[in-house]
Amino acid sequence: MSTLVIKDLRASVETKEGRKQILNGVNLTIESGKTHAIMGPNGSGKSTLAYTLAGHPKYQVDGGEALLDGENILEMTPDERAKAGLFLAMQYPVEVPGVSMTNFLRTAVTSVQGKAPSIRTWTKELGESMKRLRMDPKFAQRSVNEGFSGGEKKRAEVLQLELLKPKFAILDETDSGLDVDALRIVSEGVNRAKENTGLGIMMVTHYTRILKYIKPDVVHVFAHGQVVETGGPELADVLEEEGYDKYLPEGSTESALA
């Protein structure tokens, strides 16, 4: 069993007004096979947590640790974190013109797993994964995310998740911009990856609709850069009904930077 242990993580970002602290001592432990939902108001630091763990250069780590099976991934480069077993599904996947999906994915799998899959095995696995995600086989030869709709980009993210088989997946608002059918298909892909590999999931979301498809074991409320409350799945229903006002100082608004 693998564990991702986040201890007193603090991070900041450079703004026009100077450096601004976003994460203020995050403590969180995720185990294999468990799904943790991170919920909170806009600008509370949820996405900053996701991108800091993945190694985005925009965010400066000011203290703390993030131990994946005892190794501090904060001391690793982004590609080393991926090889260690960390995966980030981005809220806004980027386009990579000139690089086909199949070449991108095979190169990524080769880098993470340390050896290239045989062409026959790779073609079969890619085709089967795309079929399960209701993706047109022609997308394999298209440039990464170029001209894809929002739903197609999110399916491509889950395709990567299924093929890379990480130990832990961070899903940054994977439900953003998806209609009901796309949300169901994407959620099925995440659930399938978890069932097949036993990965742990940290799912960042504002809303409970994705939680109807990807059932969380634990729900955390994130506000002003830290976890302020933790509970079971029922906590999400309370948040849906009552909102986040009680977690914020009166009259305050969270920074849109986070």
Is 157 a residue whose pLDDT tops 50? yes
Domain locations along the chain? 3-91+166-257
The DSSP annotation for 108-141 comes to: HHHHHHSSPPPHHHHHHHHHHHHHHTT--GGGGG
Q: How confident is the model at residue 222 (pLDDT cuts 50, 70, 90)?
A: very high
CA torsion sign for 182, 188, 192, 198 is positive
235 pLDDT higher than 80: yes
Beta-strand relationship, 71-72 and 59-68: antiparallel
For residues 157 and 237, give the distance between their C-alpha atoms in angstroms, rounded to a whole number.
27
CATH fold of the domain at 3-91+166-257: Rossmann fold (3.40.50)
Per-residue pLDDT at 237 exceeds 60: yes
| Span 9-32, pLDDT tens digits | 999 999 888 899 999 999 999 999
Percentage with pLDDT > 90 across the chain: 78
DSSP state for residue 209 in the 8-state scheme:
G
CA atoms of 171 and 146, how far apart (whole Å) = 21
> pTM above 0.85?
yes
